[in-house]
Every structure is written in structure tokens, then in C-alpha cells.
């Protein structure tokens, strides 16, 4: 039995770079903005995420989504585009409002 690689979002790397550049951040500044997710994150990973050499863990994707103000779905769905202006105003806060209302 062979092990094949799991499918990866084809546009993820470009979207991560788009987030950083739209916010006017260097890779070092993006690293600092992402904070310390409960997974190992090093400054050098930012460039590797943006070139597709490394796939970010889910918790790092969540941190990117929160910094950009978008739902995480926008990052991983190749059929969806990021908003033109970042940080967006429809992101994480909007999702949390919907979750709180449904309780």
C-alpha cells in the first residue's frame, strides 16, 4: 500500500502572501502579529508558507484568518477570493456573532 499526499489548496500560499502584503507587513512583522499559536512557529516558516514549501498547521491558518479579519474558509477554499481590503470587517467577529445568536 502506497501513501499518497493529501490534497492541498492550490491558492493557499498566494493568499497568505496577499494577506501579509495587503497589511503592509514584513515577514518578521507577520510572524509577530500571528503571535504564538499552540504549535511551533518560526519566522522562517512565513516565507515557506508563502512559497508553498511548507503547509501551515490549522492553528496557524486560524491565526492568519484572525489577523486578516476573514473566515478561515476563505483561506483554504480555492474557489473563494480574499476581499480587496484587509483586514476585512466581515470576518471572525461576524462568525462569532452568528455562533452566539444560534445558542
Assigned domain for 3 exists: no
Assigned domain for 95 exists: yes
CA distance 27 to 18: 12
- Model pLDDT, residue 98: 47
CA distance 42 to 4: 27
- Model pLDDT, residue 70: 93
Are the C-beta atoms of 48 and 18 separated by less than 8 Å? no
Assigned domain for 59 exists: yes
- Model pLDDT, residue 101: 53
The total domain count for the chain is: 1
CA distance 20 to 64: 9
Assigned domain for 21 exists: yes
- Model pLDDT, residue 44: 93
Assigned domain for 91 exists: yes
Assigned domain for 5 exists: no
Assigned domain for 33 exists: yes
Domain span at residue 66?
Answer: 12-102
Tens of pLDDT along the chain (103 residues)?
A: 567 777 889 999 999 999 999 999 999 999 999 987 777 889 999 999 999 999 999 999 999 999 999 999 999 999 999 998 999 876 555 555 544 555 5
- Model pLDDT, residue 33: 93
* CATH number of the domain encompassing residue 60: 1.10.260.40
Assigned domain for 7 exists: no
Amino acid at each position: 500500500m502506497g501513501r499518497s499526499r493529501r490534497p492541498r489548496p492550490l491558492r493557499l500560499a498566494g493568499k497568505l502572501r496577499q494577506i501579509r502584503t495587503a497589511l503592509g507587513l514584513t515577514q518578521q512583522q507577520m510572524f509577530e502579529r500571528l503571535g504564538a499559536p499552540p504549535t511551533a512557529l518560526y519566522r522562517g516558516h512565513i516565507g515557506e508558507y508563502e512559497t508553498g514549501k511548507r503547509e501551515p498547521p490549522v492553528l496557524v491558518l486560524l491565526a492568519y484568518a484572525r489577523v486578516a479579519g476573514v473566515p478561515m474558509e476563505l483561506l483554504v477554499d480555492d474557489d473563494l477570493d480574499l476581499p480587496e481590503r484587509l483586514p476585512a470587517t466581515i470576518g471572525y467577529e461576524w462568525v462569532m456573532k452568528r455562533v452566539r445568536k444560534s445558542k
